[in-house]
Amino acid sequence: MIKAFEQPIYVTRPYLPKRELFCEGLKEIWENRWLTNNGPVLKRFTQQLSNYFNTDNICIFNNGTLALQIGLQGMGISGEVITTSFTFVATTHALFWNNIRPVFVDIEPDYYTLDPEKVEAAITPRTTSILAVHVFGHPCKLKSLTDIAHRHKLKLIYDAAHAFGVQVGNQPISNFGDMSVFSFHATKPYHSIEGGMLTFQDSGLKKNFDYLKNFGFKNEIEVVMPGTNAKMNELQALMGSMLLEHVDKINKKGKQITEVYREKLKGVPGIHLVPGLPKDVLYNYAYMPIEVDEDEFCMSRDGLYEELKKYNIFSRRYFYPLICIHICLFI
Ligand SMILES: Cc1ncc(COP(=O)(O)O)c(C=O)c1O
């Protein structure tokens, strides 16, 4: 008889720095009496991220959702955008808040990212962009999507919320496409409690993003666009700054755990694992998705989800329900 875990096991558990070290960092914030509005800790954090991604073309936000929303607004994206329904709702909501019509196309079966052939088939004269998701941190079909975007003169935007620390061919994942958005939410292996970041190729966009996240203020007296409040505060910046040096350790731990899962689940009838990623991908081991074949496994996905609860294990059904089948109430 297998015993239930004494403590509940959730699908994620936030990584935390040593409390004493965080408290030490708080002293600086207390001394500065500067809690938000581009304070010194955020400035330092921004520089660290700039070094990490080897670019000045970054902008930090209070969360990934607003980063994406503002990214689309700041780039002037409109019309129809081809995207995926197999993602967190925020991907689509960011389009909605910009009056953009999402056009959902299907994903490929291996890594669950947008199927390039389906993307190309869905292009119409109204299509302006592709918004693809590196879902579970799996890189999208970068070459094919780039090729389609170039041929059809579309912007290529990546929701990289799950993909912090992922590299392809020794390049950070942020180097691909016109813009990428990252989430630093506490459920992510690397986090700043809540937080988000845009990386982009066109340095001319930076001022738009900076204005938009701060009510459209250009300076003390000029408001030059209808912005919002999406600024990261000093406490978030402190967490993000402290954890940045732990990224490799966090990902290494994820790798060890994933290897155990893959070894133990290999060959279990009805449990399908994601195929190994291409050799040139440095993965962040953010997620450990499995597919359940009800007939082969003799239990449905939902049955397994319920069964695990009896053992104090709280798994999640990602992404369920799919965005395209949510009932959306308008007010
Ligand atoms: C794919 C995806 N996009 C966007 C977001 C939004 O990020 P945030 O929670 O930081 O607002 C998430 C959050 O988990 C996500 O999973």
51 alpha carbon – ligand 1 mean position (Å): 23
User: Ligand 1 pocket, 138 CB below 6 A?
Assistant: no
User: Ligand 1 pocket, 113 CB below 6 A?
Assistant: no
Strand residues in 62-126 grouped as ranges (E): 80-84, 101-105
User: Ligand 1 pocket, 25 CB below 6 A?
Assistant: no
pLDDT digit string (tens) for 46-96?
999 999 999 999 999 999 999 999 999 999 999 999 999 999 999 999 999
**Residue 202: is it exposed, middle or buried by C-beta count within 10 angstroms (0-12/13-18/19+)?**
exposed
281 alpha carbon – ligand 1 mean position (Å): 22
pLDDT at res. 138: 98
Joined together, the tokens standing for residue 173 give 């994942």
**Cα dist from 23 to 13, 18, 188, whole Å:** 21, 9, 22
161 alpha carbon – ligand 1 mean position (Å): 5
Pocket test for ligand 1, best of 183, 228, 320 (most atoms within 8 A of CB): 183
**Cα dist from 147 to 151, 167, 278, whole Å:** 6, 20, 19
Indicate the length of the chain as a whole number. 331
Are residues 75 and 179 in contact, defined by beta-carbon separation less than 8 angstroms? yes
User: Ligand 1 pocket, 240 CB below 6 A?
Assistant: no
β-bridge mates for residue 114, sequence order:
107
- Peptide bond preceding 184 in cis form (omega within 30 of 0): no
DSSP-derived 3-state class of residue 155: strand
User: Ligand 1 pocket, 65 CB below 6 A?
Assistant: yes
Q: Which residues contact 287 (CB under 8 A, 6 or more apart)?
A: 136, 137, 162, 318
Q: In the chain, which stretches have pLDDT less than 70?
A: 330-331
pLDDT at res. 1: 82
Quote the mean pLDDT of the chain: 97
Encoded amino acid at 243, one letter? L
Q: Which residues contact 223 (CB under 8 A, 6 or more apart)?
A: 215, 216, 217
pLDDT at res. 95: 98
pLDDT at res. 331: 55
Joined together, the tokens standing for residue 176 give 């691909």
Query: Which ligand 1 atom is nearest residue 66's CA?
Result: 11
